[in-house]
Amino acid sequence: MSQEGQADAPRSAAQDIPSWLLEPEHYEPARDRDGFIGKSMLSITGVLASFRLDDGRANRFSPSAPAKLIVGLGIILLASLSRNYFFVLVLLAALLVRACVLPARALKRVAAVSAGAAGLTFLIMLPAVFIGQSQSALLVATKVLVSVGCALTVAQTTPYNELTAALRVFHVPNLFILTIDLALKNIVRLGDIALEVLTALRLRSVGRSRDKRSSIGGVGGVVFLKTNEAAQTTYDAMCCRGFEGDYPTPPARPWRAVDAAWFAALAAAVVLFAFLQGAVS
Amino acid sequence: MHIPENYLSPSTCGVFGLAMIPIWAHAIKKVRATVPREKMPLLGVAAAFCFLAMMFNIPLPGGTTGHAVCGTLIAILFGPWAATIAVSIALIIQAVFFGDGGILAIGANCFNMAFVLPLVGFGIYSFIVGRTKKTLVSELAAAGVASYVAINAAALCAAIEFGVQPLLFTDAAGQALYCPYPLWISVPAMMVGHLTIFGAAEVVFTVGILAFVRKAAPSFGVETAVDKPTGAKALTPVYVLVAALVALTPLGLLAEGDAWGEWSTEDLAEMVGYTPVGLGDGWEWSSFMPDYSIGGLPDIAGYLLSAVIGVALLVIVFRLVAAAMKPSVSFD
């Protein structure tokens, strides 16, 4: 092709463009009602974030995951068995001191959930206050505060994989741990997929679409299909690697030196519990 | 100086409660502007000093007791409005959880100890510091004078609040409905203690803690010099001091008797010969550890436990506030 021909082509094309196409358009799509998509995306992201980011960075004084489970369960058990308010307050003081040094995000969550649970308990126990048993209402609410706070502190400061590893130390059946592990991993993977599908749904619709709500069913369907696929591929991968349903033996040294101090504290709590329970009865 | 429930008439409590609302609102605005987000947890530690100082009861011959407040200390370290917030929260925790000071009287108590005290203290401190050479000794001297005057100003306010009650509220027989002691008894009775021993205690606490903080942890406070080390390590001495004060709180139990104006209804009835109507029939909040003690157990255990719970609660409250504040990033 000659030089002239190349120069002519765009010029003639510009002449061919119909005039209506050259006029600037002021198209502003009507605002869509897609708040539900944003909300679903936010909640999925929140769940994923809590799986991925945790405040479980261990410092010098934090116990190993198995020790944390034992101490946490022990404290919850003691708090629920105690009939002595002083003992529950001692546990509360210990929990509050621990909460003082929690990372800010974990502290917010622990405080919000445990205060909410304790407040709700107090509301439910309000009739006790009206018949002159305000002490028992306070006792039960404080017990709930201690138990929920303790459980949440353990959950917020321990990564999920360490928690399942800790279960292995206690000889929990392999099938059980396998199910938890796979469930946790799949929640993260499927959450990612759901997030992608929702993003696509949001990006590809312009203007107001009336049947957007119906496509949320499609999102569920896609995630379900992907679940089947993921289950199949996981099974295949496990077969390929010769998996027989047995996890390897627990890690050689799950315990830390500082665990001894935590167990000593728990033992002291048990002694105090026995002493104060005797004082009551 | 904690005014108990029913010693002030509900109308007096209402007036002070209403007066505190704009003060708190202004203080929150000021604190947002002047205290950076990362310093908020430290304000909680400062409030813990205040909480602990109020647990050290000091006896006065004659059977009354009193305590330091440390409001001036917080005002010097974090600014007067931050002190208003910190002391207010300490007072609220004391009233709600430990029954120290009345729930209805929170407004009046906050006015005396969280508004008058830190503002007077900070005013005098900055007046003196602005006119002398900036050395540690002159700063400590200014802090001492300021804290002494400030606690007396607060005590005078409390005495006047007590003293106007029998002048304003009496029944047909001329018996007081609420606090039975008029101004000419309440003012001297409160001021004798605060001009002498409790004022001295406030000076000792303020100057002692300030000197310790300036020497051992210079980054504790809102005006941190750039060359001073910051971070968690640099503040370890402050935490050690808080722990030491917690461990020493049982010393506050050595003082027998009640503070002036903080008697139980029965004790008051014995002293004046009748039970003021407002006190006999008044509403009272049942806190979960009244008077920092739990029935049937040694006082020391209850006192220590209260100190730990109170300090931890204060630190948690201020950490939660800091977490709720929006981070302010300057792109200049």
**Mean pLDDT in each 10-residue stretch from start to end of chain B (332 residues)?**
84 91 93 84 88 84 77 91 93 86 89 93 92 86 93 91 84 79 84 86 91 84 58 77 87 74 75 73 68 71 87 91 76 65
Query: Chain B within 8 Å of A126 (Cβ-Cβ)?
Result: no
Tokens of A117: 């649970």
Task: Specify the DSSP element, H or E, that contains B58.
Answer: strand B58-60
Q: How far apart are the CA of A55 and the nearest CA of chain B, in angstroms? A: 15
Of B297, B301, B320, the CB nearest to A108: B320
Where do we find the tokens 């358009």? A25
Give the long-range contacts of residues A99-103, CB within 8 A, separation 24 or more: A99/A149, A99/A153, A99/B312, A99/B316, A100/B312, A100/B315, A100/B316, A100/B319, A102/A55, A102/A153, A102/A156, A102/A157, A103/A55
Helical H segments across chain A, by residue range: 3-16, 19-22, 35-52, 65-81, 85-100, 104-124, 126-130, 134-157, 160-169, 174-204, 212-240, 259-280
Q: How far apart are CA B223 and CA A5, in angstroms?
A: 75
Whether residues A138 and B313 touch (CB distance < 8 A) is answered with: no
Query: Chain B within 8 Å of A96 (Cβ-Cβ)?
Result: yes
Whether residues B309 and A279 touch (CB distance < 8 A) is answered with: no
Q: Regarding predicted confidence, which is higher, B171 or A246?
A: B171
CATH 1.10.1760.20 fits B10-324, yes or no: yes
Of B33, B27, B32, B170, the closest CA to residue B86 belongs to B27
Q: How far apart are the CA of B196 and the nearest CA of chain A, in angstroms? A: 36
The per-residue pLDDT for B207 is 92
The per-residue pLDDT for B326 is 73
Q: How far apart are CA A119 and CA A142, in angstroms?
A: 9
Whether residues B312 and A100 touch (CB distance < 8 A) is answered with: yes
Residue A218's identity, in one-letter code, is G
**Cross-strand pairs, B65:** B59, B259
pLDDT for residue A40 is more than 90: no
Q: How far apart are CA B82 and CA B71, in angstroms?
A: 10
The per-residue pLDDT for A264 is 94
Whether residues A90 and B312 touch (CB distance < 8 A) is answered with: no
Whether residues A86 and B316 touch (CB distance < 8 A) is answered with: no
Residue A29: φ, ψ to 5°: -60, 145
Residue B259: φ, ψ to 5°: -70, 160
Query: Chain A within 8 Å of B273 (Cβ-Cβ)?
Result: no
Instruction: Name every chain B residue with its beta carbon within 8 A of the beta carbon of A93.
Output: 305, 308-309, 312
Instruction: Name every chain B residue with its beta carbon within 8 A of the beta carbon of A96.
Output: 308-309, 312-313, 316
Of A69, A272, A60, the closest CA to residue A153 belongs to A69
What is the reported pTM? 0.79
The per-residue pLDDT for A176 is 82
Asked if B98 and B306 count as a contact pair (C-beta separation under 8 A), the reply is yes
Q: How far apart are CA A144 and CA A80, in angstroms?
A: 8
SS3 category, B266: helix
ipTM above 0.85 for this complex: no
Query: Chain B within 8 Å of A271 (Cβ-Cβ)?
Result: no
State the virtual CA torsion across B304, B241, B58, B183 in degrees, nearest 10. Answer: -110
The per-residue pLDDT for A207 is 73
Whether residues A105 and B316 touch (CB distance < 8 A) is answered with: no
Query: Chain B within 8 Å of A115 (Cβ-Cβ)?
Result: no
Asked if A157 and A69 count as a contact pair (C-beta separation under 8 A), the reply is no
Task: Specify the DSSP element, H or E, that contains B60.
Answer: strand B58-60
Whether residues A107 and B319 touch (CB distance < 8 A) is answered with: yes
Of A188, A186, A271, the closest CA to residue A230 belongs to A186
Whether residues A100 and B308 touch (CB distance < 8 A) is answered with: no
Whether residues B316 and A90 touch (CB distance < 8 A) is answered with: no
SS3 category, A154: helix
Residue B65: φ, ψ to 5°: -130, 165
Under 8 Å CB pairs connecting chains A and B tally to 48
Query: Chain B within 8 Å of A47 (Cβ-Cβ)?
Result: no
The per-residue pLDDT for B72 is 92
Of B185, B190, B236, B241, the closest CA to residue B211 belongs to B241
The per-residue pLDDT for A2 is 47
Of A97, A100, A104, the CB nearest to B323: A104
Of A92, A97, A107, the CB nearest to B320: A107
Instruction: Name every chain A residue with its beta carbon within 8 A of the beta carbon of B301.
Output: 86
Whether residues A89 and B305 touch (CB distance < 8 A) is answered with: yes
* Closest-CA residue of chain B to A97: B312
Cα distances from B257 to residues A247, B3, B97, B305, in angstroms, run 67, 16, 21, 21
* Closest-CA residue of chain A to B45: A100
Whether residues B313 and A96 touch (CB distance < 8 A) is answered with: yes
DSSP state of A53: S
Whether residues B286 and A89 touch (CB distance < 8 A) is answered with: no
Query: Chain B within 8 Å of A107 (Cβ-Cβ)?
Result: yes
Most distant CA pair in chain B, distance: 71
Instruction: Name every chain B residue with its beta carbon within 8 A of the beta carbon of A85.
Output: 288, 294
Residue A200: CB atoms within 10 Å: 12
Ranking A210-219, A255-264, B79-88 by mean pLDDT, the lowest is A210-219
**Cross-strand pairs, B64:** B60
Q: How far apart are the CA of B49 and the nearest CA of chain A, in angstroms? A: 16
Whether residues B323 and A134 touch (CB distance < 8 A) is answered with: no
For an interface test with A, which of B37, B288, B318 has the most A Cβ atoms less than 10 Å from its Cβ? B288
The per-residue pLDDT for A1 is 44
In tens, the pLDDT along A71-82 reads: 999 999 999 998
Query: Chain B within 8 Å of A176 (Cβ-Cβ)?
Result: no
Q: How far apart are CA B161 and CA B187, in angstroms?
A: 10
Whether residues A86 and B323 touch (CB distance < 8 A) is answered with: no
* Closest-CA residue of chain A to B38: A104
**Cross-strand pairs, B59:** B65
Query: Chain B within 8 Å of A118 (Cβ-Cβ)?
Result: no
